[in-house]
């Protein structure tokens, strides 16, 4: 029933593609025939033709330009020629296409403009700027769009001039390009369109895309218009504006301006939520989260039921709550969904009493989050109630209470937990044992020993496992007795407990466990021997690699990772290509834990696996390895199509504090689009990253300089800001412009004075003009 998405070649198509490969091999002499294949009826063959012509570089540029200028036989061939020139690797391509832009025939000039845009040919900006005023609309629009694709603020004057003419065809694309230019001079001409009904809607949205605080007053000037429609439209623009400002690193300044200009209309924005579509509601929630107070929380709470808006509404409520203690407390009184949303950010002691009351809320998630909040607040007065909560019927709540008790750790916890061991509810007794296992109270030895005889087998197991944490000399003897108990699960629990014991007794106990009949005893014995690093157990663990039970074999593999002997290494290498994926992954984890470059080939191979978990394990094995090749592989993994792998790679790069890793991040940031999470990683404060960005600012172009300046701004850190000030004196004009724009948007101390000086003294006219506009705004 589904349409196939794979493009299977017919035999004839396959033959034609192979012929194209042969023509490529001929070099220049094959070009004419290759050009003829652009008219092949098969799309797939034409793609092969385009790729072949592009790969021939300079050899095909002249013939392609000539064909595009003089022949232009049919549409799909023209499209193929444009594609080939756009992707061409020739050094002469851009110059040749720039010459075509001067062709008097509009169709050819428009194609040339499109090609230059797709090539992101910054050297063509000047002539594309002139083409904006071409008599033919198609050429002008193609030039505008090309400048948009190239990015930066080239030809800003020409684009602004288009705003003044209000030509229907040219103004719409031009305002989009202006909005994304990041140039401070773009805001005023965009704002000038607000009083023109034809362009007002698009101008509002474009102002939002500027990410500039200067765009907010013009947007607010529309608010006196009646009705919700304008409020919803402005909200859409403001949501874009906040997103863009966050990227630039100036969200704080934008929010201040929003509060000043939009704050008085807060009630209208809150009311507009009710009659909006989902996209508008999302935008309104973003705005309300930035400028709202506790009065808007009930309206935002209504969005929590909508799966599509739940996350945005939660963020909005949390933002308001983070700013005002009163809002946190007010939100806790709204409804269960709002309580669930706000509890993760409650951190004020003023809210403690309200949170304690929620331990009796009818909603389980609220009760669980209340436990977590009390731990976060450090509310030791809540410990008695948390102990009472161990009896909650919802395991998530009881476990949250357990974790909170462990976290708060007050003086009488031991007394209370021992009392809880006598509780009538088996669940409470289990949670009490978990607390003992975590906190290890010596005075709990006797009651825990008694609990081993509990009728509930889970309690008995937990009691045995808890013994490991109790500092009492009788524990080792008791564990030895349990290790030969007729109950297999208790023997397994004894192995778990033994891991936490020090000394020879534990090692011997675990070694004996390797021969147990019950697989889980052998499993935990292997695990324990690895964790205590018992090197003389290597041979016994290697023997377990042939265990009949898969998880025992895996546990033996994991244990060998901790034992740095040659025999252990050989054994790991022997199982790394096991037929069982879990064994392979366990071996890979183990190999990755070994220092030295012998592990690298295995880890690099893992990064090529189709299995996501294997790639992730390969990456974790590369963490903190000093070899250049390790860094290169991690950087490549940062472009992995699977988010988990990509994020793990970025996390590894972000955790490194060396210059090489920082430079890899800069390279990635300059190569990736703005949505890629590498930008967030690059903007984590760090001396190595600041130094790498500063070095790259010295020679980066107009399109890339703002990327680096924004990364510094997002660090919100003194030395990063200092680097921006220093960039005002770099020889690279693009860096000076980007730094000046960013510093003024950040509104940091000294920025106005420094940029004023640049506006007056900079050797570059364009930099002076930009800075003058910044200062004037």
Partner 1 sequence: MGEPALTPPLFAIFSDLIEKACGVHYDAGDRPILESKLSTHATELGFDSLLDYYYRLRYDDPGAVELHKLVEAILVHETYFFREYRQLVQLCDHYLTDLVRTRGRARVWSAACSTGEEPFTLAMLLEERGLLDHVEIVASDVSSDTIVRAKAGLHGKRALRDGHPPEVASRYLDAGAAGYAVVPRIRDAVKFATINLLDDASVRKLGRFDAILCRNVLIYFHDAQILKVLERLARSLEPGGLIAVGVSESLLRFGTSLVCEERGNAFFYRSGA
What binding mask, one character per residue, do residues 589-628 give for partner 1 by CB under 8 A, x or -? x---------------------xxx--xx--x--------
- Identify which range of 165-173, 183-191, 302-310, 625-633 contacts partner 1 by CB under 8 A: 302-310
Q: Is residue 523 a contact residue for partner 1 (CB under 8 A)?
A: yes
Contacts of 195 (CB under 8 A, 6+ apart): none
Q: Is residue 531 a contact residue for partner 1 (CB under 8 A)?
A: no
Q: Which CB sits closer to partner 1, 62 or 395?
A: 395
Binding partner 1 (rule: CB under 8 A), the pick from 243, 549, 609, 629 is 549
- Identify which range of 129-137, 205-213, 301-309, 506-514 contacts partner 1 by CB under 8 A: 301-309
Binding partner 1 (rule: CB under 8 A), the pick from 302, 423, 512, 684 is 302
- Identify which range of 27-35, 190-198, 544-552, 689-697 contacts partner 1 by CB under 8 A: 544-552
What binding mask, one character per residue, do residues 426-465 give for partner 1 by CB under 8 A, x or -? --------x--xx-------------------x--xx--x
- Identify which range of 130-138, 551-559, 564-572, 715-723 contacts partner 1 by CB under 8 A: 551-559
Q: Is residue 496 a contact residue for partner 1 (CB under 8 A)?
A: yes
- Separation between Cα atoms, residue 206 and residue 46, nearest integer Å: 38
Q: Is residue 3 a contact residue for partner 1 (CB under 8 A)?
A: yes
- Separation between Cα atoms, residue 683 and residue 693, nearest integer Å: 10
Give the number of residues in contact with partner 1, rule: CB under 8 A: 46
Task: Please compute, for residue 280, the number of CA atoms within 13 A of its CA located in the half-sphere on the CB side.
Answer: 16
Q: Is residue 680 a contact residue for partner 1 (CB under 8 A)?
A: no
**Could you tell me the smallest distance in angstroms from the CB atom of residue 3 to partner 1?**
4
- Separation between Cα atoms, residue 8 and residue 24, nearest integer Å: 22
Q: Which 8-state DSSP code applies to residue 389?
A: H
**Could you tell me the smallest distance in angstroms from the CB atom of residue 348 to partner 1?**
23
- Separation between Cα atoms, residue 488 and residue 472, nearest integer Å: 24
- Separation between Cα atoms, residue 398 and residue 8, nearest integer Å: 57
Q: Which CB sits closer to partner 1, 140 or 645?
A: 645
**Could you tell me the smallest distance in angstroms from the CB atom of residue 550 to partner 1?**
5
Q: Taking CB under 8 A as the criterion, which residues in 363-402 touch partner 1?
A: 395-396, 399
Distance between start and end Cα atoms, the chain: 59
The phi-psi region of residue 747 (left if phi > 0; otherwise alpha if psi is between -120 and 50; otherwise beta) is left
Q: Which 8-state DSSP code applies to residue 698?
A: T
Binding partner 1 (rule: CB under 8 A), the pick from 319, 584, 585, 769 is 585
Q: Is residue 676 a contact residue for partner 1 (CB under 8 A)?
A: no
Backbone angles phi, psi at 79, to 5 degrees: -60, -40
Per the CB < 8 A criterion, the answer to whether 20 and 45 are in contact is yes
Per the CB < 8 A criterion, the answer to whether 20 and 37 are in contact is yes
Q: Is residue 307 a contact residue for partner 1 (CB under 8 A)?
A: yes
Q: Is residue 27 a contact residue for partner 1 (CB under 8 A)?
A: no
- Identify which range of 126-134, 183-191, 192-200, 582-590 contacts partner 1 by CB under 8 A: 582-590
Per the CB < 8 A criterion, the answer to whether 194 and 206 are in contact is no
Contacts of 270 (CB under 8 A, 6+ apart): 284, 288, 292, 295, 296, 299
**Could you tell me the smallest distance in angstroms from the CB atom of residue 548 to partner 1?**
11
Q: Which CB sits closer to partner 1, 461 or 476?
A: 461
Binding partner 1 (rule: CB under 8 A), the pick from 305, 446, 627, 761 is 305
Q: Is residue 5 a contact residue for partner 1 (CB under 8 A)?
A: yes
> CA-CA distances (angstroms) from residue 106 to 75, 77, 162, 167?
15, 18, 19, 18
> CA-CA distances (angstroms) from residue 563 to 504, 567, 745?
17, 9, 56
**Could you tell me the smallest distance in angstroms from the CB atom of residue 760 to partner 1?**
49
Q: Which CB sits closer to partner 1, 376 or 458?
A: 458
Q: Which 8-state DSSP code applies to residue 3?
A: P
CA nearest neighbour of 517 among 552, 556, 560:
552
Q: Is residue 648 a contact residue for partner 1 (CB under 8 A)?
A: yes
Q: Which CB sits closer to partner 1, 108 or 273?
A: 273
Q: Is residue 717 a contact residue for partner 1 (CB under 8 A)?
A: no
**Could you tell me the smallest distance in angstroms from the CB atom of residue 592 to partner 1?**
11
- Identify which range of 20-28, 30-38, 228-236, 642-650 contacts partner 1 by CB under 8 A: 642-650
CA nearest neighbour of 121 among 141, 146, 90, 101:
146
- Separation between Cα atoms, residue 622 and residue 462, nearest integer Å: 36
DSSP states of 517-564 as a string?
Answer: SSHHHHHHHHHHHHHTT-GGGHHHHHHHTT-SSHHHHHHHHHHHHT--
**Could you tell me the smallest distance in angstroms from the CB atom of residue 275 to partner 1?**
13
Q: Is residue 55 a contact residue for partner 1 (CB under 8 A)?
A: no
> CA-CA distances (angstroms) from residue 131 to 115, 127, 136, 163, 653?
14, 6, 9, 15, 43
The footprint of partner 1 (CB under 8 A) covers 1-3, 5, 278, 302, 305, 307-308, 336, 395-396, 399, 403, 406, 434, 437-438, 458, 461-462, 465-466, 496, 519-520, 523, 549-551, 554-555, 582, 585, 589, 611-613, 616-617, 620, 642-644, 647-648
């Amino acid at each position: 029933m589904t349409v196939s998405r794979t493009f299977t070649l017919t035999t004839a198509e396959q033959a034609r593609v192979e012929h194209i490969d042969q023509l490529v091999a001929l070099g220049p002499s094959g070009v004419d025939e290759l050009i003829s294949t652009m008219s092949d009826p098969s799309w797939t063959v034409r793609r092969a033709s385009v790729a072949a012509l592009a790969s021939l570089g300079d050899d095909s540029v002249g013939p392609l330009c000539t064909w595009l200028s003089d022949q232009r036989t049919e549409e799909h061939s023209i499209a193929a020629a444009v594609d080939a020139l756009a992707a061409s690797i020739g050094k002469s391509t851009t110059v040749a296409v720039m010459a075509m832009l001067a062709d008097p025939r509009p169709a050819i000039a428009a194609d040339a403009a499109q090609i230059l845009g797709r090539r992101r040919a910054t050297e063509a900006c000047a002539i594309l700027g002139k083409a904006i005023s071409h008599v033919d609309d198609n050429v002008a629009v193609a030039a505008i769009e090309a400048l948009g694709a190239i990015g930066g603020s080239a030809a800003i004057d020409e684009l602004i001039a288009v705003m003044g003419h209000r030509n229907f065809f040219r103004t719409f694309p031009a305002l989009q390009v202006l909005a994304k230019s990041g140039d401070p001079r773009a805001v005023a001409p965009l704002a000038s369109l607000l009083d023109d009904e034809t362009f007002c809607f698009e101008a509002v949205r474009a102002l939002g895309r500027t990410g500039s605080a200067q765009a907010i007053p013009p947007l607010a000037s529309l608010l006196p218009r009646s009705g919700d429609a304008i409020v919803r439209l402005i909200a859409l623009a403001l949501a874009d504006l906040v997103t863009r400002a966050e990227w630039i690193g100036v969200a704080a300044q934008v929010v201040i301006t929003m509060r000043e200009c939009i704050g008085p209309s807060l009630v209208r924005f809150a009311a507009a939520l009710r009659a909006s579509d989902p996209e508008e509601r999302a935008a309104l929630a973003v705005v309300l989260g930035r400028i709202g107070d506790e009065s808007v929380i009930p309206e935002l709470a209504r969005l929590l039921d909508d799966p599509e808006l739940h996350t945005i509404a939660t963020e909005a409520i949390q933002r308001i709550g983070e700013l005002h203690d009163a809002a946190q407390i007010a939100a806790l009184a709204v409804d269960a969904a709002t309580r669930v949303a706000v509890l993760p950010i409650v951190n004020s002691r003023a809210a403690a009493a309200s949170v304690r009351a929620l331990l009796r809320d009818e909603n389980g998630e609220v009760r669980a989050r209340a436990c977590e909040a009390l731990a976060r607040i450090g509310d030791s007065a809540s410990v008695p109630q948390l102990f009472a909560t161990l009896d909650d019927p919802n395991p998530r709540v009881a476990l949250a209470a357990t974790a909170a008790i462990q976290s708060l750790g007050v003086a009488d916890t031991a007394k209370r937990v021992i009392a809880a061991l006598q509780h009538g509810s088996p669940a409470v007794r289990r949670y009490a044992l978990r607390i003992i296992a975590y906190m290890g109270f010596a005075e709990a030895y006797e009651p825990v020993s008694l609990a081993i005889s509990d009728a509930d087998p889970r309690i008995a197991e937990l009691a045995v496992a808890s013994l490991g944490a109790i500092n009492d000399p009788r524990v080792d003897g008791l564990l030895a007795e349990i290790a030969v108990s007729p109950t297999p699960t208790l023997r397994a629990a004894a192995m778990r407990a033994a891991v936490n014991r020090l000394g020879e007794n534990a090692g011997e106990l675990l070694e004996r466990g390797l021969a147990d009949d019950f697989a889980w005893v052998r499993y935990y014995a292997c695990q324990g021997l690895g964790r205590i690093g018992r090197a003389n157990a290597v041979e016994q663990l290697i023997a377990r690699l042939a265990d009949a039970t898969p998880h025992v074999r895996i546990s033996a593999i994991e244990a060998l990772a901790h034992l740095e002997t040659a025999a252990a290494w050989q054994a790991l290498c022997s199982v790394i290509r096991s037929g069982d994926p879990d064994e392979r992954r366990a071996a890979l984890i183990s190999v990755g834990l070994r220092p030295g470059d012998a592990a690298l080939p295995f880890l690099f191979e893992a990064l090529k696996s189709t299995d996501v978990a294997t790639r992730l394990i390969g990456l974790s094995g590369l963490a903190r390895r000093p070899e250049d090749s390790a860094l290169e592989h991690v950087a490549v993994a940062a472009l992995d199509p699977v988010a988990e792998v990509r994020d793990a790679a970025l996390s590894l790069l972000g955790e490194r504090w060396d210059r090489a890793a920082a430079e890899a991040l800069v390279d990635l940031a300059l190569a990736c689009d703005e949505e890629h999470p590498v930008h967030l990683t690059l903007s984590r404060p760090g001396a190595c990253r600041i130094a790498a960005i500063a070095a790259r600012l010295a020679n980066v172009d107009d399109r890339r300089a703002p990327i680096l300046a924004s990364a510094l701004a997002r660090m919100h850190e003194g030395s990063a800001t200092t680097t921006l000030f220093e960039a005002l004196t770099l020889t690279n004009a693009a860096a000076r412009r980007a730094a000046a724009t960013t510093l003024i948007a950040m509104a940091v101390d000294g920025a106005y004075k420094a940029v004023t000086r640049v506006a007056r003294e900079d050797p570059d006219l364009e930099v002076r003009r930009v800075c003058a506009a910044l200062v004037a705004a």
